[in-house]
Amino acid sequence: MKEPAPRLKTAVYEQIARIGRALASPRRLELLDLLSQGPRTVEDLARLTGQDGDRVLQLHSPFGGGKSHVLVALYHAAKNRETLEIDEVSSLKL
């Protein structure tokens, strides 16, 4: 079996580490758990987690971090909710 290219291997490990950092926050895990139960608004999430304050969602990432791609994906997801009904994703449990 051929070994993956070092750059690909490094990129994969970086993404796995990034996911690990994201899941290291108890608050994020609680939000993921709530979102896994079904679609919720930001206001619903704030109320259910006892959060208060600004309800503005801000995407922070360095140049080339994919903010535009995320915004386009969110737009299309909101416009075409049926496209989110993927069996493999909806059957996942945390």
* CATH number for the domain harbouring residue 83: 1.10.10
Q: Residue 41: which pLDDT band, with cuts at 50, 70 and 90?
A: confident
Residue 80 forms part of a structural domain: yes
- Has residue 1 been placed in a domain? no
Domain that holds residue 44: 6-90
Give the tens place of pLDDT for each residue, 8-29. Answer: 888 889 989 988 887 888 888 8
Contact between 57 and 51 (Cβ < 8 Å): no
Pairwise CA distance, residues 74 & 71, whole Å: 5
Q: Residue 53: pLDDT above 70?
A: no
pLDDT, greater one: 55 or 46: 46
Number of domains in the chain: 1
- What pTM does this model have? 0.42
